[in-house]
Amino acid sequence: MTFQLGAALLDACVLAVLSRGDAYGYVLTQQVRQVIEVSETALYPVLRRLQKDGCLDTYDQPYQGRNRRYYRVTPQGVERLEEYRQQWRLYKSRVDTILLKEGHENDEG
């Protein structure tokens, strides 16, 4: 079974990966894919949205005669990532309460 991936969670994962170091699209996709099934084509709109929101910045770097576009987290992106982390901790705690709770303390029968 696969859980639906919301835009906010994908944004959070992209920001988290990039908070560990700048990356270009392919490498970023591979790193995100380690935990979430996502295509490169699905990731580029996320990158554009985060850039438009001021959370990411880009720069080009030559590689084998071509330019690669690298993405990096801005200070605003770091703040947004921390907000996402706080929200994730709360969300995860609430879901864990339901999914991982042992026993049936409220059963009447």
Mean pLDDT along residues 32-61:
93
CB 10 within 8 A of CB 88: no
In a domain, 1, yes or no: no
By C-alpha distance, which of 79, 27, 76 is closest to 52? 76
In a domain, 16, yes or no: yes
Residue 29: Cβ-neighbour burial (10 angstroms; 0-12, 13-18, 19+): buried
Residue numbers of the domain that contains 17:
7-99
- C-alpha distance from residue 64 to each of 100, 101, 107 (Å): 50, 54, 66
CATH assignment at residue 58: 1.10.10.10
10-31 tens-digit pLDDT: 999 999 999 999 999 999 999 9
Return d(Cα 96, Cα 43) in angstroms, integer: 28
Predicted pLDDT of residue 7 = 86
- C-alpha distance from residue 74 to each of 4, 5, 71, 89, 92 (Å): 28, 24, 10, 23, 26
Predicted pLDDT of residue 83 = 96
In a domain, 68, yes or no: yes
In a domain, 106, yes or no: no
Q: How many domains does the chain have?
A: 1
